[in-house]
């Protein structure tokens, strides 16, 4: 049975600009559903979805629901949204994104890739390897995978690989027989409260595996966690069932060997950051759980190009023209918005380009997250030679009025190398003015800072 066909034909999506619901809408449209939707984000680009046959609109209005038979909303869309309210008034079924995705996955052998860090890249890598090996999986990735034709695809094989987000316990709605947990770190305190809360959520995620399933645990999963697993669930761990040997890094990435009870093989990984080696090990264990030997899977790693805005190297600037970036500045684009991710970015850039000045242009994401991690952000930002702080991206916040206070507190705690550059969508000249020839500039954040790195790189494009 085709699970996607079990959903009604006419589906309205609220929150189309999200990294999950947008790709899912495209997948449903490609499967023959009549899809409409909306998003109120100032960065939402409806024309991209319109070109794919989705009736996308900017802003929210009850009239947008039209003739829909089902409404799907992202976790960030509140219950009092006018389109959600209209669906309720008409007694239409309303599903969250994760519930709809769970139905789509139900007819396939699900592979759910979770973790507070690394899940987008690892999901893309699992799907890429299976696809390159001819297994034709379905997939959905909460980002822009550079080695896949789109963020979501149906495929014709037996497996469906999905990025499984922990926020709002979304991953508990999915259907899977392979569960990968890359890392369990303190995050989303507005949802989970504390470290015990987030650990409990991941334990529940693993506990939904059926008898005979496989749980893959990454290196950054606390060793002492007790996993409430069904009988017959196998547990494979990065560092035990598969580990690295003889790795080295050069200008084009990493090479080395993997070995362990799960298999052994040589590999070449063209990515920035040693944390991606852990992502690689977890991905190889996941594809082994899908029936693909590690030895075969490793041969397809070299063709993996990563995911947009995950330490994406945009190259070096070339031309000199005001107010552009000076010649020879390396531009890197990254989604980092957690202190751990900032630390990983700093380490990756210094390892790849030793001796060069590393400048961070960082947009804190949400008032609540900035408050929760204020001291940790300051510590990690001091690892850069200069930290250029954009204004906080305000979303899902109960106290947006604290944004100004918190950005000033972060500046004070970071120290002399920190400067404020204003709104992310209008700070190009302010950032460019702080850069010197030979710098490495990394743009980091999960809000409307998206696009800044490409503008900085493009501003200097030329002979």
pLDDT digits (tens, 9 = 90+) for 348-358: 999 999 999 99
For the segment 209-213, the average pLDDT, to the nearest whole number, is: 97
Instruction: Give domain status of residue 101, yes or no.
Output: no
Q: What total number of domains does the chain contain?
A: 3
Pairwise CA distance, residues 290 & 140, whole Å: 17
Average pLDDT, the chain: 94
The answer on pLDDT for 418 being more than 50 is yes
Shared domain for 267 and 402, answered yes or no, is no
Q: What is the pLDDT of residue 318?
A: 76
For the segment 101-111, the average pLDDT, to the nearest whole number, is: 96
Instruction: Dig out the tokens for 310 from the structure.
Output: 């995950």
For the segment 36-50, the average pLDDT, to the nearest whole number, is: 92
Instruction: Give domain status of residue 316, yes or no.
Output: yes
Shared domain for 293 and 323, answered yes or no, is no
CATH of the domain at 87: 3.40.50.720
The answer on pLDDT for 320 being more than 60 is no
For the segment 47-62, the average pLDDT, to the nearest whole number, is: 95
Shared domain for 285 and 322, answered yes or no, is no
Domain that holds residue 90: 6-96
Residue where the block lists tokens 């094989």 = 157
The 10 Å CB-count burial string (b at 16+, else e) for 190-213 is: bbbeeeeebbebbbebbebbeeeb
Shared domain for 159 and 199, answered yes or no, is yes
Q: What percent of the chain has pLDDT over 70?
A: 97
Shared domain for 62 and 142, answered yes or no, is no
The answer on pLDDT for 187 being more than 60 is yes
Contact 220, 117 (CB under 8 A): yes
CATH of the domain at 413: 3.90.190.20
Shared domain for 326 and 296, answered yes or no, is no
DSSP single-letter state for residue 202 = H
* Residue after which a domain boundary falls, among 251, 274, 300: 300
Instruction: Give domain status of residue 287, yes or no.
Output: yes
Shared domain for 91 and 130, answered yes or no, is no
- Beta bridge partners, 254, equal 249, 269
What's the pLDDT band for 395 if we cut at 50, 70, 90? Answer: confident
* Residue after which a domain boundary falls, among 300, 324, 354: 300
Instruction: Give domain status of residue 125, yes or no.
Output: yes
- The sign of the CA dihedral 224, 229, 232, 237 is negative
Q: What is the pLDDT of residue 191?
A: 87
The answer on pLDDT for 461 being more than 60 is no
Instruction: Give domain status of residue 61, yes or no.
Output: yes
Instruction: Give domain status of residue 271, yes or no.
Output: yes
Shared domain for 113 and 260, answered yes or no, is yes
Q: Is 262 exposed, middle or buried (0-12, 13-18, 19+ CB in 10 A)?
A: buried
Instruction: Give domain status of residue 103, yes or no.
Output: no
What's the pLDDT band for 459 if we cut at 50, 70, 90? Answer: low
The answer on pLDDT for 275 being more than 70 is yes
Q: What is the pLDDT of residue 182?
A: 97
Instruction: Show the CA angle centred on residue 245, arms to residues 240 and 246, nearest 5°.
Output: 165
Best CA proximity match to 311, nearest among 333, 329, 342: 333
Q: What percent of the chain has pLDDT over 90?
A: 89
Shared domain for 291 and 358, answered yes or no, is no
For the segment 235-262, the average pLDDT, to the nearest whole number, is: 97
Shared domain for 120 and 244, answered yes or no, is yes
What's the pLDDT band for 43 if we cut at 50, 70, 90? Answer: confident
What's the pLDDT band for 92 if we cut at 50, 70, 90? Answer: very high
Strands (DSSP E) contained in 169-298 are 178-183, 214-220, 234-237, 243-250, 253-259, 265-269
For the segment 77-84, the average pLDDT, to the nearest whole number, is: 96
The answer on pLDDT for 460 being more than 70 is no
Shared domain for 145 and 291, answered yes or no, is yes
Shared domain for 271 and 173, answered yes or no, is yes
* Residue after which a domain boundary falls, among 47, 68, 96: 96
CATH of the domain at 259: 3.40.1190.10
Instruction: Give domain status of residue 449, yes or no.
Output: yes
């Amino acid at each position: 049975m085709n699970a996607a066909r079990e959903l009604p034909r006419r589906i309205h999506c609220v929150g189309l600009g999200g990294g999950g619901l947008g790709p899912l809408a495209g997948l449903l449209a490609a499967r023959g559903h009549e899809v409409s939707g909306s998003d109120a984000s100032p960065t939402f680009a409806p024309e991209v979805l319109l070109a794919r046959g989705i009736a996308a609109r900017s802003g929210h209005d009850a009239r947008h629901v039209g003739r829909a038979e089902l409404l799907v909303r992202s976790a960030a869309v509140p219950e009092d949204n006018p389109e959600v309210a209209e669906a309720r008034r008409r007694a239409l079924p309303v599903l969250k994104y994760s519930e709809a995705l769970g139905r789509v996955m139900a007819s396939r052998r699900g592979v759910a890739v979770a973790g507070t860090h690394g899940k987008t890249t690892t999901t893309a890598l699992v799907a890429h390897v299976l696809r390159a090996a001819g297994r034709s999986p379905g997939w959905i990735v909460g980002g822009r995978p550079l080695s896949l034709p789109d963020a979501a695809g149906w495929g014709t094989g037996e497996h469906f690989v999905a990025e499984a987000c922990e926020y709002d316990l979304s991953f508990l709605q999915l259907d899977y027989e392979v569960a990968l947990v890359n890392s369990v770190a303190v995050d989303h305190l507005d949802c989970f409260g504390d470290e015990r809360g987030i650990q409990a959520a991941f334990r529940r995620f693993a506990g939904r595996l059926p008898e005979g399933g496989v749980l893959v645990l990454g290196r950054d999963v606390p060793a002492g966690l007790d996993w409430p697993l069904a009988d017959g669930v196998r547990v494979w761990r990065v560092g035990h069932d598969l580990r690295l040997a003889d790795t080295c890094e050069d200008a084009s990435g990493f090479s080395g060997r993997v070995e362990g009870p799960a298999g052994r093989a040589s590999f070449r990984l063209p990515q920035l950051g040693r944390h991606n080696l852990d992502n690689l090990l977890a991905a190889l264990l996941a594809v082994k759980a899908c029936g693909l030997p590690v030895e075969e899977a490793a041969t397809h790693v070299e063709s993996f190009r990563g995911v947009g805005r995950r330490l994406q190297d945009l190259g070096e600037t070339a031309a000199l023209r005001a107010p552009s970036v000076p010649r020879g500045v390396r531009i890197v684009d990254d989604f980092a918005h957690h202190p751990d991710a900032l630390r990983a970015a700093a380490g990756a850039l210094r390892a790849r380009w030793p001796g060069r000045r590393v400048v961070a242009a960082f947009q804190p994401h949400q008032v609540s997250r900035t408050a929760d991690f204020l001291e940790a952000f300051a510590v990690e930002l001091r690892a850069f030679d200069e930290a250029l702080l954009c204004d906080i991206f305000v979303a899902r916040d109960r106290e947006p009025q604290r944004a100004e206070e918190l950005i000033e507190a972060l500046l004070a705690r970071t120290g002399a190398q920190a400067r404020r550059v204003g709104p992310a969508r209008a700070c190009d000249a302010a950032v460019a003015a702080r850069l010197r020839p030979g710098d490495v500039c990394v743009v980091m954040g999960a809000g409307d800072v998206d696009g800044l790195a490409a503008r900085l790189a493009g501003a200097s494009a030329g002979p």
